[in-house]
């Protein structure tokens, strides 16, 4: 997966191009379904994991609010890009493995060439699977951390230099409420999300002087299409009953929080974890 961190190159050094690249131009007459706003107009966003689920909702929200969004995902982003296009926004998908430093450098180069300087980076990609600790292999542990933690490190590292130069930036790592209310059979995942929170706290202390905020979003159980297909309704009901807000979380709930966290309005918040879980966690 990733190379030796000690021998990392930097974006712009002619690294690998993504295996696939596509974009659909923004406005098509008559295609708008949701009114656009100018909240993030002029902003360029780099996001991992925007092909589906919460990431897709974030891309749609930020694009609807005027940002141009570049998505790095191992999966095909065509559906996300098409939904953005239909709403009159601008997004591009790049087939990138976020755990590969070389590929993330290639992504940063492509984003700069296509859109310019991205000052907002959101790490949403994750490996999510359940396994009893006894059955967990070191390969599974390593793979989880390479996507969930190393991926966040790569995304931040690739886009930080431009943020520092511009003296403005927003970095958000998508963690999980499971760190605060840990379920069984997810030790590998919970540990990776805890590491992300450490990354956020440490990096926030280091880059604040450049006008860059670094925060984490910790979603509660969210009704993505994969979760609806894979999680029994009884579990959704159980979680909903523990929440203060008596409905299940939707991807749009997380996208709304991200929209705030990457805005100018959030300029005095850094090193924090925003728990968006309907009040389940009480932390």
Ligand X SMILES: NC(=O)c1ccc[n+]([C@@H]2O[C@H](COP(=O)([O-])OP(=O)(O)OC[C@H]3O[C@@H](n4cnc5c(N)ncnc54)[C@H](O)[C@@H]3O)[C@@H](O)[C@H]2O)c1
- Catalytic residues, by residue number, are 189
In terms of CB distance, is 88 or 262 closer to ligand X?
A: 262
DSSP state of 107: H
Q: Which residue is nearest to ligand X (CB)?
A: 53
Tokens 């396994």 correspond to 131
In terms of CB distance, is 23 or 99 closer to ligand X?
A: 99
CA distance 177 to 27: 37
Tokens 């749009």 correspond to 252
User: Rule CB under 6 A: which residues touch ligand X?
Assistant: 48-49, 51-55, 72-75, 96-99, 124-128, 147, 174, 176-177, 219, 221-222, 224, 226-227
The count of other CB atoms within 10 Å of the CB of residue 281 is 18
- Residue from 79, 83, 48, 54 nearest 222 by CA: 54
In terms of CB distance, is 36 or 127 closer to ligand X?
A: 127
> Closest separation between CB of residue 167 and ligand X, Å?
29
Tokens 């990354």 correspond to 199
Q: Using CA atoms of 10, 8, 93, 156 in order, give the dihedral in degrees to the nearest 10.
A: -80
In terms of CB distance, is 103 or 270 closer to ligand X?
A: 103
């Amino acid at each position: 997966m990733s190379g030796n961190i000690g021998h990392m190159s930097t974006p712009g050094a002619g690294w690998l191009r993504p295996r696939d690249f596509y974009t659909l131009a923004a406005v098509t007459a008559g295609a708008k379904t949701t009114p656009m706003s100018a909240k993030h107009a002029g902003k360029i966003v780099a996001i991992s994991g925007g092909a589906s689920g919460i990431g897709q909702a974030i891309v749609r929200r930020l694009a609807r609010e005027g940002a141009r969004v570049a998505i790095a995902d191992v999966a095909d982003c065509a559906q996300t890009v098409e939904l953005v296009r239909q709403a009159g926004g601008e997004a591009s998908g790049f087939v990138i493995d976020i755990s590969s430093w070389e590929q993330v450098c290639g992504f940063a180069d492509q984003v700069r060439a296509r859109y310019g300087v991205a000052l907002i980076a959101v790490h949403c990609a994750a490996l999510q699977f359940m396994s009893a600790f006894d059955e967990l292999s070191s390969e599974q542990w390593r793979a989880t951390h390479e996507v969930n933690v190393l991926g966040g490190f790569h995304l931040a590292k690739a886009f930080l230099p431009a943020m520092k130069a511009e003296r403005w930036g927003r970095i958000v790592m998508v963690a999980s409420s499971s760190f605060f209310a840990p379920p069984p059979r997810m030790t590998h995942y919970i540990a990776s999300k805890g590491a992300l929170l450490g990354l956020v706290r440490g990096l926030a202390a280091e880059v604040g002087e450049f006008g860059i905020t670094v925060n984490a979003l910790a979603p509660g159980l969210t009704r993505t299409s994969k979760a609806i297909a894979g999680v029994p309704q009884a579990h959704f009901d159980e979680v909903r009953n523990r929440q203060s807000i008596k409905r299940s979380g939707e991807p749009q709930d997380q996208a709304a929080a991200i929209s705030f966290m990457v805005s100018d309005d959030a300029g005095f918040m850094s090193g924090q974890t925003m728990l968006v879980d309907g009040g389940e966690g009480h932390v």
